[in-house]
Amino acid sequence: MKKLGVLAGVAGLALAAVLAASTGGSADDSKLEQLKAQGFARVAIANEPPYTAVAADGKVSGAAPDVAREIFKRLGVGDIVASISEYGAMIPGLQAGRFDVVTAGLFMKPERCAAVAYSEPVLCDAEAMLVKKGNPKGFKSYEDVAKDTSATIGAPGGGTEEKLALNAGVPRERVIVVPDGQSGLKMLQDGRIDAYSLPVLSINDLVKKANDPNLEVIAPVQGAPVYCDGAAFKKGDEALRDAYDVELAKMKKSGEFAKIIEPYGFSAAAAMSTTRDKLCAAK
């Protein structure tokens, strides 16, 4: 009898799993259960301070991972494990199951909102350009770079600044893909690019550490929007995203959200003044 009981039990579990998968709801909920059992969430980052940073000893920090680590802890997921990725590879990596979430300052834009399930806003920032002291080519906007037929601009591959430069009319061959901040800084210092574009706080962080008097920051880039990121989840993991949002909203309300991001230079008020729906609808 016992044996039969065990078999019936196993069959019952299998049936529940099939039913759960077919109804969708429980399969959704199981993503959080899976992460809790795993003990960590795999996050994609870019290593672009102050958004995301990896120290020499491998310690992950930055405003985006710090918010994510705290929220996942509240959801019962012990920690985060970060992988560095180019911005353009983050969404494909998420969709391929290489990451559980992107927490990297991946700005919300309609085309990205169509591809992932964003949380509510976390980090907002304007765009900047790093140029040689005196701004010799007089850049104020991406259009200015387009108009100067000899000018080149560096930007992250698949990143917002690359898109903004191309959309402003800078030809593909004059938009140089730059893997990371240090490379962009060096290329500008060596005169291999005429401008390097990242969000304002990222450029300011680079300049602060470069200790080079021959640099100038153009901020904000005229005509470029202020963007906000959110944690980006795979389509289908909306239940996990919603659970994330519940904790994010509590932290925004209690002031704990501001306590995490504002020492990095970000404004909690900016993130709280807008919504995912507004940012995903923005033209």
Is there a contact between 217 and 203 (Cβ–Cβ < 8 Å)? yes
What is the sign, positive or negative, of the torsion defined by CA atoms of 46, 102, 229, 80? negative
Binding residue count for ligand 6CS, defined by CB under 6 A = 13
Pick between residue 53 and residue 71 the one whose CB is nearest to ligand 6CS: 53
Closest CB to ligand 6CS among 152 and 202? 202
DSSP codes, 41-71: EEEEE---TTT-EE-TT--EESHHHHHHHHH
In the set 43, 45, 71, 198, which binds ligand 6CS (CB under 6 A)?
A: 198
3-state secondary structure of 150: coil
Residue with tokens 């399969």: 27
Closest separation in Å from C-beta 212 to ligand 6CS: 21
Name which of 231 and 239 has its Cβ closer to ligand 6CS: 231
| Positions 122 through 181 that interact with ligand 6CS (CB under 6 A) | 156, 159-161
Taking CB atoms, the residue at the shortest distance from ligand 6CS is: 159
**From 72, 107, 118, 266, residue interacting with ligand 6CS (rule: CB under 6 A):** 107
Of 121 and 159, which has the nearer Cβ to ligand 6CS? 159
Please say which residue, 77 or 185, places its beta carbon nearer to ligand 6CS.
185
Alpha helices (H) along the chain = 2-23, 25-38, 63-74, 87-95, 110-113, 142-147, 160-167, 181-189, 200-210, 238-254, 256-261, 268-272, 276-281
SS3 140: coil
Q: With binding defined as CB under 6 A, does residue 224 bind ligand 6CS?
A: no
Report yes or no: 240 and 32 within 8 Å, Cβ to Cβ: yes
Q: Counting contacts by CB under 6 A, is residue 51 touching ligand 6CS?
A: yes
Which residues are at the interface with ligand 6CS (CB under 6 A)? 48, 51, 87, 105-107, 156, 159-161, 198-199, 202
